[in-house]
Structure 1
Amino acid sequence: MIEAAMIWNEPNNKSHWDPELDPDWARFGDMAIRAAQAIAGANPGLPKVLGGISPIDPLFMINMRERGVLDHVDAVAVHGFPLDWNLWQIGEWPAKIDEIRAVTDLPIWVSEVGVSSFGAEEVQAWGLERTFELLAGRAPRIHWYSLYDLPRAWEATTRHREAEGSSYYRHFAMGLLREDGSPKPALDVFARHPGVFGLCQWFHYQDHRLDDAVAWMKRLGVRHLRTGLSWADSFRPDALAWFDRQMAALADFDVTVTFCFTPEHRGLAPHHTSPPIEPDEFAAFCADMIRRYAPGAAVRAAE
Structure 2
Amino acid sequence: MIEAAMIWNEPNNKSHWDPEIDPDWKLFSDMVISASQAIKAENPNLPRVLGGISPIDPGFIRKLEGHGALDHLDVVAVHGFPLDWNLWQIHEWPAKIDEIRAVTDKPIWVSEVGISTFGAEEVQVWGLNRTAELLIGKVPKIHWYSLYDLPRAWEATTRHREAEGSSYYRHFYMGLLREDGTPKPSLEEFAKYAPQMGLCQWFHYEDHRLDDAVAWMKRLGVKYLRTGLSWADSFRPNALDWFDRQMEALADFDVTVTFCFTPEHRGIAPHHTSAPQVKEEFAEFCASMIRRYAPAGEPVRASKVLEVL
Normalised TM-score (structure 1): 0.99
Q: Which residue of 2 aligns with 1:20?
A: 20
> What's the RMSD between the two structures over aligned residues?
0.6
**Cα distance per residue 1:169-212 (max 9 Å; x no partner):** 00000000000000001101101122121000000000000000
Query: Are 2:169 and 1:160 equivalent residues in the alignment?
Result: no
Q: Which residue of 1 aligns with 2:182?
A: 182
**Cα distance per residue 1:100-122 (max 9 Å; x no partner):** 00000000000000000000000
Matching residue's letter, 2:187: L
**d(CA) in 2 for partners of 1:192, 1:258:** 26
Percent of residue pairs bearing the same amino acid type: 78
The alignment of Structure 1 onto Structure 2 pairs a total of residues equal to: 303
Query: Are 2:230 and 1:221 equivalent residues in the alignment?
Result: no
Alignment of 1:44-59 (within 5 A): 44-59=44-59
Matched residue SS, 2:225: strand
**d(CA) in 2 for partners of 1:70, 1:186:** 36
**Cα drift, residue 236 of structure 1:** 0.3
Alignment of 1:61-100 (within 5 A): 61-100=61-100
**d(CA) in 1 for partners of 2:194, 2:59:** 34
Structure 2: 5+ residue runs without aligned partners? none
**d(CA) in 1 for partners of 2:231, 2:195:** 30
Matched residue SS, 1:52: strand
Q: Which residue of 2 aligns with 1:142?
A: 142
Q: Which residue of 1 aligns with 2:207?
A: 207
Deviating 4+ runs (over 6 angstroms): none
**Cα distance per residue 1:5-29 (max 9 Å; x no partner):** 0000000000000000000000000
Normalised TM-score (structure 2): 0.97
Matched residue SS, 1:62: helix
Relative to structure 2, which stretch is displaced further, 2-11 or 190-199?
A: 190-199
**Cα drift, residue 159 of structure 1:** 0.6
**d(CA) in 2 for partners of 1:109, 1:158:** 23
**Cα drift, residue 147 of structure 1:** 0.1
Structure 1: 5+ residue runs without aligned partners? none
**Cα drift, residue 140 of structure 1:** 1.0
Q: Which residue of 1 aligns with 2:107?
A: 107
**d(CA) in 2 for partners of 1:39, 1:16:** 21
Relative to structure 2, which stretch is displaced further, 100-109 or 184-193?
A: 184-193
**Cα distance per residue 1:191-236 (max 9 Å; x no partner):** 1122121000000000000000000000001001000000000000
Q: Which residue of 2 aligns with 1:234?
A: 234
Matching residue's letter, 2:207: D
Residues 194 and 223, structure 2, Cα contact 8 Å, conserved in 1: no
Matched residue SS, 1:147: coil
**d(CA) in 2 for partners of 1:8, 1:218:** 27
Matched residue SS, 1:51: strand
**d(CA) in 2 for partners of 1:280, 1:60:** 23
**d(CA) in 2 for partners of 1:84, 1:276:** 31
Query: Are 2:11 and 1:11 equivalent residues in the alignment?
Result: yes
**Cα drift, residue 167 of structure 1:** 0.2
